[in-house]
A and B are shown apart, each in its own frame.
Chain A
């Protein structure tokens, strides 16, 4: 029973991070219908930037965190400006291939600087953050993962629900010609969604880095893992991404714990295949509001 609870908590925390990174992926897809294959690399970049700032530059942790997020924001913005914007209006497949190219480019760049080694962050989470209720022990990292994850989820939720810029972003996802006709700056919305997606990826990169260590290959493979997550949750649903993330996270840890650790990484993709067979729009994909 202890083991079950432990796995449950680990699974939920990891799943939460998957959900968070999938959220960034969904955001780009929703606003511009682009599947971003470079998502994992942006995530890894966030983790490495934080590493560089925390160890090489010796910045205080909180400051390093904020600077990393700012850096990710700028990165997302720049990617959209330089690479995506010239392709607006081109067939989607070319844009998607571009993100595949970007992925290799970023990965190569990071390998060049940091190599394929496994790094770890210095210990900075206070011991007191962990939860210790007799049978259930939650390491501080997982508590931090859940806190940071929920905090940003809430923040983005509020942003999309109440802020004008958030509402404009949703309007572009909803009906682009109508948004254009009202003067919504569609290109700015694209840039903003890339920037926010990069921030979200950066956050999950950092937290996953704290949990599993930082390694280019390991972290960028998360980019592929968002596919089962978003397919499960429905490609266009942000809350679906979170729930999909939780499900995949749980499946992974339970398989790893009860069956075999080597099966762990395969399970998400098996789920992906089955979900596509049974419910191709995902569990929470938008039910099209049809009016005749």
Chain B
């Protein structure tokens, strides 16, 4: 168990602009080769946790004030994104952020920034292999692609960097249900075939827990629950608050929503 720890977040607190505390003692561990999903409602601190790892807090004036983040045993908290990406951690930002005025292929080439000067042909083929839909649009400006293509593009772009740890922030956001399924299947394949360790932040708890091996639930800047994905799927609280099931296990009826509001157990 202690052998394959790729990422260890140790009781970190994150403060924005020196006053706004967002994370209050978050700890989590990611083993090599795992898919770990991080669940929670809006504003729980999931994205902030990812940004603390990838170093992207800095440009937003955020800082890890307590605790430590170890990647492969080395401390990386408050390091610059340039260093962290070169260590092998790539974050895919929330809300699909392609370079709109670059073509698909140019977008993918930006993914090689951490390995500037090395050949990238083979990696392009690898991305097109995972996302065949991108192949015929390689010369199109990314800004003119559909939402689904953009999501494939930003994941593919991150793969170009050969990440050892891939942080995915809400890849299902605003996509059609059928397409969400496809994206998740591809994420699982990337994990299986490339051995890429993945941290997956999701609102779509159902899909996330299907492909993840382990899960954490966040609430108000704290981890409130953790466990193996299949256990979390069966947990009554997770079921009710994140999977949209009633306490009894049946799909919740809209009729009952207002009449009786069960409080989350951990609050």
A contact set with B: CB distance below 8 Å? 89, 164-165, 167-168, 170-171, 174-186, 286, 289, 291
Contacts and interface: CB of A to CB of B under 8 A. Distances in A.
B100 A183 contact: no
B93 interface: yes
Given A168-B113, A171-B107, 12 more contacts: A164-B109, A167-B110, A170-B101, A170-B102, A170-B106, A174-B101, A175-B97, A176-B59, A177-B56, A183-B113, A186-B82, A286-B101
A183 B109 contact: no
Interface of B: 54, 56, 59, 61, 81-82, 84-86, 90-93, 97-102, 106-107, 109-114, 116-117, 141, 143-144, 147, 154, 157-158, 161
A47 B169 CA distance: 51
A172 B113 CA distance: 12
B141 A178 contact: no
A177 B91 CA distance: 11
Nearest to A289: B143
A174 B158 contact: no
A184 B90 contact: no
19 contacts: A89-B59, A167-B106, A168-B113, A171-B102, A171-B110, A174-B101, A174-B102, A175-B97, A178-B99, A178-B154, A180-B56, A181-B54, A181-B56, A182-B110, A182-B158, A183-B84, A183-B90, A186-B82, A286-B101
Given A289-B143, A289-B144, A182 B113 contact: yes
Contacts of A165: 116
B238 to A, nearest CB: 29
B151 to A, nearest CB: 13
A168 B86 CA distance: 15
Contacts of A175: 97-100
Identify the 3 closest CB pairs spanning chains A and B, nearest first.
Answer: A183-B85, A289-B143, A183-B114
Q: Which of B54, B99, B154 has the most CB of A within 10 A?
A: B99
Given A171-B102, A289-B143, A291-B143, A181 B91 contact: yes
Contacts of B61: 89
B101 A164 contact: no
Contact of B110 (A168, A177, A286, A291): A168
B111 A182 contact: yes
Nearest to A88: B59
B106 A178 contact: no
A286 B100 CA distance: 11
Given A164-B117, A170-B106, A289-B100, A182 B56 contact: no
Nearest to B85: A183
A183 B86 contact: yes
Nearest to B97: A178
Given A182-B158, A183-B90, A183-B113, A174 B59 contact: no
B59 A180 contact: yes
A68 to B, nearest CB: 28
Given A171-B102, A175-B97, A177-B56, A184 B92 contact: no
Nearest to B92: A181
Q: Which of A165, A182, A183 has the most CB of B within 10 A?
A: A183
A177 B97 contact: yes
Contacts of B154: 178
A174 B90 contact: no
Contacts of A178: 93, 97-99, 154
Contact of A164 (B100, B102, B112): B112
A224 B158 CA distance: 42
A37 to B, nearest CB: 26
Nearest to B100: A289
B113 A185 contact: yes
